């Protein structure tokens, strides 16, 4: 096969990171790997589309999903022929995730995909980067949906905050254990998550057994939760020993989820912090037929504008796959208010929280007295210790299940009618933070990073109690659960910048914080049948809104 005529991969254009400059060439013999996302196999007779299947509330086993909606082996063979012709090799095939990982020399990848790869430097490090689009042979046009990993810049940020960080990690005014927060939110007490697996995505850092022993024994939890490290793309559980780095994210996620659901197994998927690594971690967790997580927690992300259009689509497809196999994905909504930390004068939301298949988790400031809530408002301590993310997506149109939630149009030029987030909330203010144990130190941590594992633990309790996973919660949440009296504590005070709280759903606290026991009662009634169908294709960027896509 000649592979002479090439076409651009739609939405693959990249620019250097903000502040990044080209700083030289790369070693042509550098070994690297790249992930290709492929199209699903053709639908069989009378087989419904994946959109319709998810919208109907039906669920498939992971094996059934692979057989019906996975990649076609013939497409994989075609990609392998292309790879071989350019001196590249297949390192991994995940038919269920519709991904193929290629490995080979830097020079061969540059030629195969007709890109110029170079070393770029930015404040804090360097990366292998590219500018412009990725190109593929015309024969693979339509077969290959996206290409990830040619560029290995850091893609996502953690969403944890330490109060008054300039004054040191012990400066938080108040700290709660995860058990105290769970009690305040009336989490079910007759279950402990036994039989469930909570998947946690991490893009760096690691955990130590000594920290887990200290933390859980201090809470009186025995035996310790089972915590497994799962390697993705060669990444490992590698604690840095630095509490200001990703170790704090890893330990916060494990400790909050593990305290809430100590009977659950916690599978931590460690992946490189790259566009390819993050996607591969989500896909591996979703399609994992060994650990089989029923709920996934993600506390990493970045502004929608920092992602390529192809990545927004491929990640969204991975999250849709989770919905199809009955996995709930809880995602932190970000810690930088309505701008999401972007300094272009516009509002931004965090991705992958903005995917319609994510349960986006926003943050509050929680005050307790004798175990009871005395006050709860939107978390906003900008410019000091952050504020909850939230607002309106500029990428994903408003899903039909959110049509009656009074989601406002975007405040940005063009007033795009997009998916509103967050969906739910919980304690995130580092000044009312969670007690954690990290690298031998004990201190208080907040951020929406704490809310995603808190909700993941709660979902695990629901799944055990119900005897089946609640799965894709959003349609039921908006069309039934939130309307039941007492299922949520409505947050009506505060703002995250340009968006304010109010009665019912709002774009800084969602439906509010949970009343776990009442939510479980509502869920036990069974899901509400709905034909609501979230949009799976991101809307094209409007010319009215300037974009800053690295």
Residues designated catalytic = 249, 253, 449
Q: Give the C-alpha separation, 143 to 150, whole Å.
A: 18
Q: Give the C-alpha separation, 456 to 359, whole Å.
A: 10
Nearest Cα neighbor of 157 from 232, 238, 229, 248 is: 248
Q: In this structure, what are the phi and psi dihedrals at residue 320, rounded to the nearest 5 degrees? A: -65, -35
Tokens of 347: 């509002």
320 CB burial (10 A radius; 0-12, 13-18, 19+): buried
| Four-CA torsion 17, 306, 322, 472, nearest 10 degrees | 160
Contact 359, 328 (CB under 8 A): yes
Contact 127, 120 (CB under 8 A): yes
Question: Does residue 257 sit in helix, strand or coil?
Answer: helix
Nearest Cα neighbor of 77 from 103, 38, 110, 109 is: 38
401-433 CB burial, b ≥16 within 10 A, e <16:
bbeebebeebbbeeebbbbbbbbbbbbbbbbbb
| The dihedral sign for the CA sequence 154, 157, 158, 164 | positive
Tokens of 183: 């009690």
**How, if at all, do strands 31-38 and 89-94 pair?**
unpaired
Tokens of 138: 């015309």
Tokens of 334: 């970000």
Nearest Cα neighbor of 420 from 429, 410, 430 is: 410
Residue that is written with structure tokens 């039941």 in the block: 484
What angle, rounded to 10 degrees, do the helices at 275-287 and 309-324 form?
A: 10
Q: What is the DSSP string of 348-410?
A: --EETTTSTTSEEEEEEEEEEETTEEEEEEE-EETTTTEE---EEEEEEEPPGGGTTS-PPPP
């Amino acid at each position: 096969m000649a592979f002479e005529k090439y076409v651009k991969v739609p939405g693959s254009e990249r620019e250097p990171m903000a502040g990044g400059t080209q700083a030289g060439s790369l070693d042509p013999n550098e070994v690297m790997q790249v992930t290709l996302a492929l199209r699903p196999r053709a639908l069989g007779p009378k087989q419904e589309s994946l959109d319709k299947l998810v919208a109907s509330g039906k669920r498939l086993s992971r094996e059934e999903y692979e057989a019906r909606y996975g990649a076609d082996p013939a497409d994989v063979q075609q990609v392998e022929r292309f790879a071989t012709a350019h001196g590249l090799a297949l390192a991994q095939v995940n038919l269920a995730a519709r991904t193929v990982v290629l490995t080979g020399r830097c020079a061969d990848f540059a030629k195969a995909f007709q890109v110029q790869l170079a070393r770029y430097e930015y404040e804090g490090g360097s990366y292998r980067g590219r500018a412009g689009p990725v190109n593929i042979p015309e024969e693979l046009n339509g077969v290959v949906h996206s290409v990830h990993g040619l560029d290995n810049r850091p893609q996502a940020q953690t969403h944890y905050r330490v109060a008054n960080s300039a004054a040191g990690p012990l400066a938080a005014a108040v700290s709660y254990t995860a058990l105290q927060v769970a009690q305040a939110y009336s989490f079910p007490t007759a279950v402990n998550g036994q039989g469930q697996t909570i998947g946690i995505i991490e893009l760096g850092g690691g955990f130590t057994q000594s920290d887990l022993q200290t933390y859980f024994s201090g809470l009186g939890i025995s035996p310790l939760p089972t915590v497994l490290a799962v390697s993705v793309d060669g990444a490992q559980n590698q604690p840095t020993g630095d509490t200001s780095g990703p170790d704090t994210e890893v330990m916060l996620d494990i400790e909050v989820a593990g305290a809430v659901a100590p009977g659950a197994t916690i599978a931590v998927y460690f992946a490189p912090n790259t566009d390819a690594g993050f996607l591969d971690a989500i896909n591996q967790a979703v399609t994992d037929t060994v650990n089989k997580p029923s709920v996934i927690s993600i506390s990493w992300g970045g502004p929608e504008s920092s992602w390529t259009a192809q990545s927004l689509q491929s990640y969204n497809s991975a999250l849709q796959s989770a919905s199809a196999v009955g996995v709930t994905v809880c995602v932190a909504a970000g810690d930088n208010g309505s701008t999401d930390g972007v300094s272009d004068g516009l509002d931004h939301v965090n991705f992958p929280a903005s995917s319609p298949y994510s349960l986006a988790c926003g943050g509050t400031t929680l005050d307790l007295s004798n175990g009871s809530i005395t006050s709860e408002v939107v978390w906003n301590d900008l410019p000091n210790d952050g504020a909850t993310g939230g607002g309106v997506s500029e990428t994903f149109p408003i899903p039909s299940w959110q049509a009656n939630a009074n989601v406002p149009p975007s405040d940005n030029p063009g007033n795009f009618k997009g998916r509103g987030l967050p969906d739910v909330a919980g304690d995130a203010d580092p000044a009312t933070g969670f007690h954690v144990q990290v690298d031998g130190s004990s201190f208080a941590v907040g951020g929406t990073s704490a809310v995603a594992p808190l909700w993941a633990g709660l979902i695990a309790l629901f799944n055990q109690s119900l005897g089946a996973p609640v799965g894709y919660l959003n349609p039921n949440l908006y069309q039934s659960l939130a309307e039941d009296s007492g299922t949520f504590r409505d947050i009506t005070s505060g703002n995250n910048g340009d968006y304010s709280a109010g009665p019912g759903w709002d774009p800084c606290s969602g439906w509010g914080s949970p009343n776990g026991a009442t939510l479980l009662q509502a869920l036990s009634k069974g899901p509400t049948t709905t034909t609501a169908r979230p949009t799976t294709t991101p809307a094209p960027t409007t010319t009215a809104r300037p974009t800053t896509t690295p």
